[in-house]
């Protein structure tokens, strides 16, 4: 089964007006409710239309298929989850230390994940057997990961983190750490933790992995006596 649709074309009577946009939003909300309740495979377009208070035919004015509307929901969830981390690390206008910005980003990520855990669980499940959806999610997330890469590079340029860390590897691995933990904790129930403990520990791991510091390391000492080699003196024991 693939969730890919031929195109994301604008439907002839689609959301060109304020009313049309509102109806499309109703369908997305209804589809989210149905997918959360029934899962992807058991969900039916007729159930989505009924949940939205629309006729079965009205669905096709806005979406081509169940697969297309599911993919749209997955995209919305990706935007919701990835933005907090990708925008939190380096904000030139912020006076907060980088570690506090990371903490705030992780907290917002976990709050969003917790609020949407049911639909995220369905999306994760479908992604495991639908290579096209998984690829689309990765490409969508890559834009946010690229912002994290840029943030890490700027922190390195400021002398606030380990210059030997590869920003791309760090962005992917640390992002995967946070999202995988959230899935195990909030979707699968495999981890026993409260919110404060989870956000604190993830922040510590993130910060320690980057060897992040609040101020640049001081320049090496210019005192030449420190590194001056000892000279041999004749007759000395």
pLDDT digits (tens, 9 = 90+) for 152-187: 998 999 899 999 999 999 999 999 999 999 999 999
Give the model's pLDDT for residue 84.
Answer: 65
Can you tell me the mean pLDDT for 195-202?
A: 97
Q: For residues 124 and 8, which has the higher predicted lDDT (pLDDT)? A: 124
Q: 66-210 has which fold?
A: Tetracycline Repressor; domain 2 (1.10.357)
Token readout for 16 is: 């060109």
- pLDDT of 64 > 50? The answer is yes
From CA 21, how far away is CA 27, in angstroms rounded?
Answer: 10
Token readout for 99 is: 């570690």
- pLDDT of 196 > 60? The answer is yes
Residues in CB range of 85: below 8 A, 6 or more apart: 105, 106, 109, 144, 148, 175, 178
- pLDDT of 16 > 70? The answer is no
**HEC letters along 159-223:** CCCCCCCCHHHHHHHHHHHHHHHHHHHHHCCCCCCCHHHHHHHHHHHHHHHHCCCCCCCCCCCCC
From CA 181, how far away is CA 203, in angstroms rounded?
Answer: 12
Q: For residues 82 and 73, which has the higher predicted lDDT (pLDDT)? A: 73
Which of the four CATH numbers 3.90.1300.10, 2.60.120.10, 3.40.50.850, 1.10.10.60 does domain 12-63 have?
Answer: 1.10.10.60
| CB environment 169-188: b (16+ within 10 A), e (fewer) | ebbbebbeebbebbbebbbe
Give the model's pLDDT for residue 97.
Answer: 85
Can you tell me the mean pLDDT for 119-147?
A: 87
Check if the beta carbon of residue 77 is closer than 8 Å to that of residue 32. Answer: no
pLDDT tens track for 19-63:
889 999 999 999 999 999 999 999 999 999 999 999 999 999 999
Q: Domain coordinates of the chain in residue numbers?
A: 12-63, 66-210
Give the model's pLDDT for residue 135.
Answer: 86
- Alpha carbon distances (Å) from 127 to 71, 94, 175: 10, 36, 17
| CB environment 37-76: b (16+ within 10 A), e (fewer) | eeebeebebebbbebbebeeeebebbbeebbbbbbbbbee
Check if the beta carbon of residue 73 is closer than 8 Å to that of residue 28. Answer: yes
Identical fold at 12-63 and 66-210?
Answer: no
> What's the pTM value of the predicted model, to 2 decimals?
0.79
Give the model's pLDDT for residue 88.
Answer: 62
């Amino acid at each position: 089964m693939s969730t890919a649709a031929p195109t994301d074309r604008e439907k002839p009577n689609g959301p060109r007006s304020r009313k049309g946009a509102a109806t499309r939003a109703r369908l997305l909300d209804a589809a989210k409710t149905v997918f959360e309740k029934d899962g992807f495979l058991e969900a039916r377009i007729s159930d989505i239309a009924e949940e939205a208070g629309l006729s079965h035919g009205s669905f096709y004015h806005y979406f081509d298929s169940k697969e297309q509307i599911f993919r749209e929901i997955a995209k919305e969830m990706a935007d919701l989850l990835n933005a907090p981390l990708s925008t939190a690390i380096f904000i030139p206008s912020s006076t907060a230390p980088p570690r506090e910005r990371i903490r705030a980003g992780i907290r917002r990520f976990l709050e969003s994940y917790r609020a949407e855990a049911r639909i995220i669980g369905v999306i994760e499940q479908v992604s495991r057997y639908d290579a096209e959806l998984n690829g689309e999610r990765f490409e969508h997330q890559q834009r946010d990961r690229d912002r994290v890469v840029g943030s890490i590079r700027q922190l390195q340029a400021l002398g606030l983190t380990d210059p030997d860390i590869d920003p791309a590897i760090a962005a992917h691995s640390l992002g995967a750490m946070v999202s995988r933990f959230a899935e195990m904790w909030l979707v699968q129930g495999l981890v026993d933790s409260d919110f404060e403990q989870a956000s604190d520990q993830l922040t510590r791991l993130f910060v320690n992995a980057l060897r992040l510091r609040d101020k640049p390391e001081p320049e090496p000492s210019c005192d030449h006596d420190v590194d001056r080699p000892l000279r041999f003196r004749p007759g000395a024991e």
